[in-house]
Amino acid sequence: MLQIHSYWAYLVLLVLILAVGNSLLGLVKKKSFTDKDLRLALFTLILSHFQLLIGFVVYFNQGWHKNIGAMMSDSAGRLLALEHPLTMIIAIALITIGWSKHKKKTEDAAKFKTIFTFYAIALFLILLRIPWSNWFDF
Ligand code: HEM
């Protein structure tokens, strides 16, 4: 499961970066919001939700929830037991809010702007709290 979580992270980051770039481009170039833009944003939502599920399985399988207290004194443990999961949950919630808010907008620019704002903050949070040293086994 950890391996799937580890590989899935590449997919999530890739589509999220594409969605952020695409929505920025759409906004700046005043493009119309097409099916392609919708699908990219939706795909990002689905892949990130799947990552959330895998993350929960890894978290409980490895028993991190039983050790939160003990992990707080050490920064690597705190990252995995608390900071990473919590930050990722917030990031995925932002993606979800961005997705549902964009659907209510009628203007194309407003759709791009909503996706861009929420997805970009989510990307920033994810990059901030990925356990990079575990991922690349430094
Ligand atoms: C967008 C969402 C997420 C991304 C991009 C992500 C990414 C990653 C990456 C790259 C690693 C390092 C994997 C490795 O060691 O090879 C990792 C580890 C981990 N993730 Fe996530 N994750 C996400 C969400 C979550 C969530 C929601 C949870 C828990 C509720 C979670 C729990 C964990 C745990 C416990 C580990 C450490 C496992 C270990 O090294 O023993 N992740 N995550």
Extract the tokens encoding 67: 């050790």
Question: CA-to-CA distance for 2 and 45, rounded, in angstroms?
Answer: 21
Q: What would the pLDDT profile of 97-123 be if each residue is shown by its tens digit? A: 999 999 999 999 999 999 999 999 999
Q: What is the dihedral of CA 138, 121, 51, 24, to 10 degrees?
A: -100
Q: What is the mean pLDDT of the chain?
A: 95
Residue 16 alpha carbon, nearest atom of ligand 1: 1
Measured between its terminal Cα atoms, the distance across the chain in Å is: 21
What is the DSSP code (8-state) at residue 59?
H
Question: CA-to-CA distance for 96 and 47, rounded, in angstroms?
Answer: 12
Residue nearest to ligand 1 atom 18, measured at CA: 131
For ligand 1, residues with CB inside 6 Å are 2, 5-6, 9, 12, 48, 51-52, 55-56, 58-59, 62, 64, 80, 84-85, 88-89, 91-92, 126, 130-131, 134-135
- pTM above 0.85? yes
Ligand 1 centroid to Cα of residue 22, in Å, is 26
**Listed residue (54, 44, 53) closest to 98, CA to CA:** 44
pLDDT at 23 exceeding the cut of 60: yes
Q: Which residues of 42-62 are buried (b: 16+ CB within 10 A; e: fewer)?
A: eebbebbeebbebbeebbeee
Domains of the chain, by residue range, sit at 2-135
Question: CA-to-CA distance for 23 and 109, rounded, in angstroms?
Answer: 9
Could you tell me the pLDDT band of residue 138, with boundaries at 50, 70 and 90?
Answer: low
